[in-house]
Every structure is written in structure tokens, then in C-alpha cells.
């Protein structure tokens, strides 16, 4: 279990407990956190679960795959700390993780 803070573009914070093994995307969607659409349900096919990982957590969330990099490259408002949240697996090591959401996923 990890406590994850999702911060919407307008500053609204959502702190939820996410089970180990789920992805950061699933943690948001299953708890009705707005701002992560995840149209494809986690197949790395749509780039609508884009998040900015808090700098302090960048290393712990791991490297993105070539497929993810290549999807992100064409998403809107991409930053160096951009990730697709369906590709970040939740583990105890991510307890306290903070991610910020972009203004729009489309």
C-alpha cells in the first residue's frame, strides 16, 4: 500500500491509498480522481494518463520504456519529468509519491 498525492492542474489535491501492484493510473481512476483519462485502460496506447512526477520521486519511479517515451514525445505539454502513469507500478517504495496532472489529456 502506498499513499499517493495527485494534484490537479488547478491545485486541488487528492490523497489516496493505492494497493501494491496497481499502477499510479489505476490508483487515480479507481478512486475517481479527475484529470487522468486513461482511455486505453493501461495498454500504453493512448497517452491520456500523462502526469508530472515530483522531482524528489523521479528516480524511485524508474525509467520509461521506449514505447512510453515515444508516446510521450507526441503528448501535449511534455516536461522532463513527464510519465505515463499506467507504466508506473505502485510498491511500498512509492509511499508518499506526489504527481501533478496536466491541464488536459487531449
Partner 1 sequence: MSDLGANVVILGAGHAGGTAAALLRQYGHTGPISLIGDEPLAPYQRPPLSKAWLKGEADADSLALKPLEFYAEHQIDFRPNTRAVKLRRSDKVVELSDGSTLTYDILILATGARAIKLPVPGADLAGLLELRTAADAEALKAAVGPGKRLAVVGGGYIGLEVAASGRALGAEVVVIERESRLLARVACEALSSFFRGVHETHGVIFEMGASVTGFVGENGHVTGVTLADGRTLPCDAAVIGVGATPNDELAAESGLDTARGVVVDLEARTSDPSIFAIGDVAHRPMPIYDRMFRMESVPNALEQAKQAASAITGRPAPAGEVPWQWSDQYDLKLQIAGYAFDTDEVLLRGDPASGKFAVFHLKGDQIQSVEAINSPPEFMMGKQLIGNRKSVSKAKLSDLSVSMKEVVA
Could you list the residues that contact partner 1 (CB under 8 A)? Answer: 22, 26, 29-30, 32, 34, 37, 39-41, 43-47, 67, 70-71, 73-75, 106
Shortest distance in whole angstroms from residue 84 CB to partner 1: 11
What is the Cα–Cα distance from 97 to 4, expressed in whole angstroms?
5
Shortest distance in whole angstroms from residue 33 CB to partner 1: 9
**37/95 with CB nearer partner 1:** 37
86, with CB counted inside 10 A (0-12, 13-18, 19+), is buried
Instruction: Detail the DSSP E strand segments found in 2-104.
Output: 2-7, 13-18, 50-53, 82-84, 98-100
**41/93 with CB nearer partner 1:** 41
* Spatial contact of 15 and 97, defined as CB atoms under 8 Å apart: no
Shortest distance in whole angstroms from residue 47 CB to partner 1: 7
Amino acid at each position: 500500500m502506498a499513499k499517493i498525492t495527485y494534484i490537479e492542474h488547478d491545485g486541488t489535491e487528492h490523497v489516496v491509498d493505492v494497493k501494491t501492484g496497481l499502477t499510479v493510473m489505476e490508483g487515480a481512476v479507481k478512486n475517481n480522481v479527475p484529470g487522468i483519462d486513461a482511455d486505453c485502460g493501461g495498454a500504453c496506447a493512448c497517452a491520456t494518463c500523462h502526469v508530472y512526477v515530483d522531482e524528489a520521486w523521479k528516480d524511485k519511479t524508474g525509467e520509461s520504456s521506449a514505447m512510453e517515451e515515444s508516446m510521450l514525445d507526441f503528448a501535449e505539454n511534455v516536461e522532463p519529468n513527464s510519465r505515463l502513469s499506467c507504466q508506473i507500478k505502485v510498491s511500498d517504495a512509492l509511499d508518499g509519491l506526489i504527481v501533478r496532472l496536466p491541464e488536459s489529456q487531449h
